[in-house]
Amino acid sequence: MRAVLAVARLLLAEMRGRRTWIPGVLIVAIAFFAPLFGERTGTGSLRERYHLCVTYGIGLPAFLINLLMITVAASMARDIENRRIQALVTKPIAPWQIVLGLFGCLLLVSGLLSMVIFTMFSARVAELRDPGGRVADPVQLSIRRLLVPRAQLGPEPKTIDPGLVAAMVESMRSESQGVHEVRRAELEKRALKVLRSLQLRPGEAADFVFRGLQETSAIERDGLLLRFVVHSLKPWEVGRVSLQWEAGEGSAEMQVRSNLVPHGVPAEVLLPGSVVGKDGTLRLRARNVEAADSGVTVILNPERVHALPPQGSFFASEVAALWLVVSRSALLLAVALFASSLFRFVTAVFLALFVYVSALASGFLRETFELFQGDSHLGGLSEQVAGWASRFGALALSFLPDLSRLDPLDRLALGRVIGPGELVVETAWIAAESAVLLALGGLTLRRRELGKP
């Protein structure tokens, strides 16, 4: 342990000598001034200010911190090339202790910088909660929507007749013959999406049932948020549609009208906690209230309708997000140290950056590869090449870290809670991947002819 701490102290002294603290100060300055600049150029609404705080107060600085830490970690390759690491090798310090000391030092610096930017974010959120001490009711309503972390609950799934699915799959297959081959699994996915979607003509309604909601003081205080997405059959003619939600039963029955909901944009309705039944069941009815002669058909996909009950506190979600940000920095440091034990400095930096970008976009890339595998329109040799390339890309993604499983900043921006179970699972994956990479880094460092004069 003393050897690990000695390596960490040496790296700290070297970072001070190289003035590595200057980029850190610049990152903190960006975290402070970037949201202020965005507020001056934007509309100044509470939602926009909050999203600017998340994007430019946390997201951009966290990205820059990771870039800085990757560069410093990869500099171990330069020390190996210049033989400067010989000063450590000639001492009774094992290669794994060198790697672990560098890792611990950089993780500490990354964690401290992350804590600083999250502290500034907390101060800005406190200002949003009480701007100038005079909070109007609409602002309070927005605060309850934005700054109250919420869980996500979908409605009971609609039962679909398997015969209808099979018939629609065969219809889609016959339409696609002679153009391109589509996998049956992809066709079934499309058929289910179409059959589950609800088409409401003017005056028509659809029912949704949510179960498992507990009547708590948090729901009574902060209300129940309903988030949904609507479409229309003619979006080029009607950009916004009128939808009315009817909630509750008996004396608690109420109607909330969502006037002019944007087409394809997530919309929100705040419902009082009294609409939740004693058994934890919420019954909603969505009604198309467009004029009868308008001909506007509203499309609702139940998979895009969610009840969001309040859960936990904003501070707890912020701490969970900070934990995940630092954990991801640990994984990237492990990648950079492993790469620097194998390759030269420039190669190690580019490899770590490639893993970083691929891990952030892993979900998008995986969906893209699946699309090329199952629904390619290229035809001929080009289609075969695209299919093989997508299979190779999907195989490569299976070995790369996936940072899109749980995006803490996206959860903060949407007001979604980061559950303890999700936090434990994500941390366990990151810890396991980091441990493997650090162990491999120690092994490869030992074999890189460190003892040669």
Q: What is the pLDDT along the chain (453 residues), one digit of tens a residue?
A: 777 887 788 777 777 777 878 898 999 999 998 888 766 665 567 777 888 889 899 999 999 999 999 998 888 777 766 666 555 544 567 778 888 888 999 999 999 999 999 999 988 887 776 544 444 455 566 666 778 888 888 888 777 767 776 777 777 666 555 444 556 666 777 777 777 778 888 888 888 999 888 766 778 777 888 888 888 777 655 667 788 888 866 555 666 666 667 777 788 888 888 888 888 888 888 888 888 877 788 888 888 899 988 888 888 899 999 999 999 999 999 999 999 888 888 888 999 999 898 888 887 777 776 666 655 454 455 656 666 777 777 777 777 788 888 889 988 888 888 888 899 999 999 999 999 999 988 888 766 554 454
Tell me which residue of 430, 223, 236, 451 sits closest to 328, measured CA to CA: 430
**Residue 157 within a domain:** no
Can you give the pLDDT at residue 41? Answer: 61
**Residue 155 within a domain:** no
The last residue of a domain, from among 266, 288, 308 = 308
Q: How many separate domains does the chain show? A: 3
The last residue of a domain, from among 308, 341, 375 = 308
Indicate the pairing of strand 205-210 with strand 282-288: antiparallel
Pair 35, 98 in one domain? yes
Pair 18, 125 in one domain? yes
The last residue of a domain, from among 265, 287, 308 = 308
Say if CB 366 and CB 398 are below 8 A apart.
no
Can you give the pLDDT at residue 426? Answer: 92
Can you give the pLDDT at residue 9? Answer: 80
Residue recorded with tokens 């129940």: 224
Can you give the pLDDT at residue 176? Answer: 53
Residue recorded with tokens 């770590």: 352
Laid out side by side, the sheet with 298-300 consists of 198-200, 298-300, 230-232
Can you give the pLDDT at residue 248? Answer: 65
What is the reported pTM? 0.80
The first and second tokens of residue 177, run together, are 């013959």
**Residue 154 within a domain:** no
Radius of gyration of the chain measured on its C-alpha atoms: 27
Pair 181, 289 in one domain? yes
Q: What domain range is 370 assigned to?
A: 365-401
The first and second tokens of residue 5, run together, are 């701490």
**Residue 452 within a domain:** no
Strands (E), 146-297: 198-200, 205-210, 224-228, 230-232, 240-247, 254-262, 267-271, 282-288
Pair 239, 375 in one domain? no
The first and second tokens of residue 105, run together, are 């030092």
Pair 197, 135 in one domain? no
Pair 183, 279 in one domain? yes
CA distance 113 to 25: 9
Pair 107, 227 in one domain? no
**Residue 211 within a domain:** yes
The first and second tokens of residue 329, run together, are 């920095």
